[in-house]
Amino acid sequence: MTRSEESRIREDYHRLTKLLIERKLTITTMESATSGQIASLLTDTEGASAILRGAFITYSNEAKIQQGVPAEIIRRYSVYSKETAEAMADACRKAYSADIGIGITGTMGNIDPENAEASVPGRVFFAISLSSETLAFDVTISPQDDRLSYKLAAAKAVARKLFELLESRSF
């Protein structure tokens, strides 16, 4: 990922944070694959405390379960699935009583030895939970040079979908 690509992603999150502030919408995240990168990008803009209620970094299956993801979802669909991302988004939105919850899980550049059967490098699942519905998506990220580039690429996909939803719905 080039410096200019990273700058564009950071600018997108600046615009996203400003839009959420303007609309008085609160947001929270439960992040695995991105390890808090999305929450970090949101808080790079002054005033983000008005919209970010909190965030969970749930890198392990146990952490996801402790924060409200049903173990049965992970057992049935795997930790790397739209269903798990949906459960993550719903759990964090409810935990923080936020307007929007983001859940994201996936495999970055290597196979996860703890979940090898479900691990596909570059495959990321994310969901956006709103009070009326939860929408799930997946994206395949091309090979990147480092972990930060994978995280930023995943965060970019989330921002794009969130912008689309904010443009198409009234809150």
* pLDDT tens profile 90-112: 999 999 999 999 999 999 888 88
Confidence at residue 150, expressed as pLDDT on a 0 to 100 scale = 97
What DSSP element (H or E) covers 55? Answer: strand 52-57
Confidence at residue 118, expressed as pLDDT on a 0 to 100 scale = 82
User: pLDDT digit string (tens) for 77-88?
Assistant: 999 999 999 999
Mean pLDDT of 123-139: 96
CA distances from 48 to 29, 156, 159 (A): 14, 18, 15
* pLDDT grade for 129, boundaries at 50, 70 and 90: very high
Confidence at residue 116, expressed as pLDDT on a 0 to 100 scale = 77
User: pLDDT digit string (tens) for 143-169?
Assistant: 999 999 999 999 999 999 999 999 987
Confidence at residue 111, expressed as pLDDT on a 0 to 100 scale = 83
Confidence at residue 104, expressed as pLDDT on a 0 to 100 scale = 98
To the nearest whole number, what is the mean pLDDT of the chain?
95
Domain range annotation of the chain: 3-168
Confidence at residue 171, expressed as pLDDT on a 0 to 100 scale = 66
- For 2, left (φ over 0), alpha (ψ -120 to 50), or beta? beta
SS3 at position 136 = strand
Which of 40-49, 55-64, 113-122, 125-134 is predicted with the least confidence, judged by mean pLDDT?
A: 113-122
For 3-168, which CATH class?
alpha beta
